[in-house]
Amino acid sequence: MRKIFKPLFVLLLLFSFSFPAKAASFNSDDPVDIDKSWIINFSKSIFDNQDLNNLIKIYDSNNNALNLQFEKSNDNKTLSVSSLNQYEKGVKYTLVVNKDLKSTDNHSLGSDTKMEFTTKNGSTYYVSPDGNDTNNGSTSSPFKTISKAVEKMNAGDTLLLRGGTYYERLDLTKSGNASSYYTIKAYPGETPILDGSQAKDSLSGDSALVFQSNSYWKIDGLSIQNYHSAGIYLKNGANNINMNNLKIYSIDPLTDTNYGCSAIFSEGNVQNCSVTNSDIHNVGLKYDRNWHHGIYITGGAQYWKIDNNKIHDNGGSAIHLYNGSSFSGKNITITNNTLYNNHKTGLTMWTNANNNTIKNNIFYNNTSYDLEIDPTSIQNTFTYNTFGSHNSDYNIFFRDPGPGSSDKNTLDYNKYYKLNLSKVVYAHSLALDYNKWRSYSQESHGQFFNNQYTPR
């Protein structure tokens, strides 16, 4: 019987894919930088005296071969492949490793392997606390300040911040478009911190990032601390601002006034924005007033997405929708968040907060209420939430003195935890137990627990 042997020389890892030495083709799903280098690992050392330029090629979309350069590791098992010139933006390329590439013991790969990739439409810049603003902003020659990099950026460009602390306040006024966002994000595996504690002028400590009348930005992976008005401030019709994987904390006013501060503050018809996967906490605790909030949205906001955040330990509400000059918020989805330890309310919905979806959130240990709703806030849907503030004044507080928002919103499949049975819901100017609350045609499938809620 003939024995079948596995190949003795294989590509172990190519662009994060493992595969045997058979004909294979892969796609790099995410667009890459125009100065991208590819790393190829082999199971054995590759033979020194072979022409890599004929065995490894990168072709452009017109099937023209690029001029490449190669760097080998000391053991000849790892090969870095890069173009002598930057790739063009937004172009598809194909990297081919020829089947005749040999190892030092004279084994060949046996089959060609291909990788297709597309370059980003924009450029990538880098900033480091150890950089210099006279540099060109490349990975080896980064800028020192974020403001200098933003000055250089165009729509579609990405700015990667190396780890460290940046004492800056940024007014971001440029606009991208739906296919070319401006992106500011953390360098992979590092934590850049924007810090407002060393204000260099009267404005430096107010807000870290300010968006005014502009659009199409992505902010990802930053930590923001020690600002006095807001971590991120959006106003005057700013739209399509995506905020992801942020940590915003220690936001406090300079003096104890009636003006609130917020981790994220929005006013003036700000639409189509998102806050996702973020940790927002310790807002307004220096003076501990209930008008300091985690996320504060006011004045005509629509089509926001607030998903999978932890918002906790704030002086006021975790999320506050306030009317301002028009309605509080419409068509906003608030989902999969954990809202806890806030000194007033988990979620406050003020005047004309209508047509919003609040689903699958967990509320607990909020001092006053998990949910507070104004009489004019109607046609909202609350489902699959856990109202777990068992020692709060009420789980839900409807401000209507008679038929109002408590009769014009839909609540079902929610869980309630309350030690005082008579203070589950306040509605119709009455303190209601759970059964009485259900008599108002709510919570057909809800659940009540007469015990303490314990977070998992």
Do 166 and 270 fall within a single domain? yes
Same domain, 276 and 330: yes
Q: Which of 118, 140, 158 is the last residue of a domain?
A: 118
Is the pLDDT higher at 179 or at 143? 143
User: Looking at the structure, do residues 39 and 158 belong to the same domain, yes or no?
Assistant: no
Residues 37, 136: Cα–Cα separation, whole Å: 19
73 shares its domain with 180: no
Assess if residue 449 is contained within a domain.
no
Strands (E), 52-204: 56-59, 68-72, 78-83, 92-97, 113-118, 124-127, 158-161, 164-166, 170-172, 182-186, 192-195
Domain shared by 56 and 194, yes or no: no
- Segment 378-421, tens digit of pLDDT: 999 999 999 999 999 999 999 987 677 899 999 999 999 999 99
Q: Which domain holds residue 208?
A: 124-359
Backbone angles phi, psi at 293, to 5 degrees: -125, 160
pTM of the entire structure?
Answer: 0.78
Q: Are 65 and 58 in contact (CB under 8 A)?
A: yes
Determine the residue type at 145.
Answer: T
Q: What mean pLDDT comes out for the span 139-152?
A: 96
What CATH number has the domain bearing residue 170?
Answer: 2.160.20.10
pLDDT at 20: 35
| Same domain (yes/no): 52, 128 | no
What's residue 380's pLDDT?
Answer: 97
The answer on 101 and 132 residing in a single domain is: no
pLDDT beyond 60 at 160: yes
Residues 60 and 173 in one domain: no
Tens of pLDDT, residue by residue over 325-353, are 677 889 999 999 999 999 999 999 998 99
Which residue, among 337, 324, 258, 334, has the nearest Cα to 297 in the 3D structure? 324
429 found inside a domain: no
pLDDT for residue 161: 98
Q: Is residue 180 one of the residues assigned to a domain?
A: yes
Task: Tell me: do 195 and 274 sit in the same domain.
Answer: yes
194 domain residue, yes or no: yes
Domain boundary among 118, 147, 171: 118
- Structural domains counted in the chain: 2
Contact indicator for 431, 439 with CB cutoff of 8 Å: no
Of 386, 436, 385, which Cα lies nearest the Cα of 406?
Answer: 436
Tokens of 205: 């400590």
**Domain termination residue (choose one: 359, 389, 418):** 359
> Residues near 67 by Cβ (< 8 Å), separated by ≥ 6?
83, 84, 85
Residue 41 lies in a domain: yes
Under a CB-based contact definition with an 8 Å cutoff, are residues 412 and 444 in contact? yes
Q: How confident is the model at residue 22 (pLDDT cuts 50, 70, 90)?
A: very low
Q: In this predicted structure, what is the pLDDT of residue 12? A: 53
The verdict on 146 and 103 lying in the same domain is: no
Tokens representing residue 198 in the block:
């060393």
Please name the residues in contact with 421: beta carbons below 8 A apart, sequence gap of 6 or more: 433, 434, 450
Here the tokens at position 2 are 């003939």
* Claim to verify: residue 105 and residue 207 sit in the same structural domain: no
141 in the same domain as 99: no
Is there a domain that residue 386 lies in? no
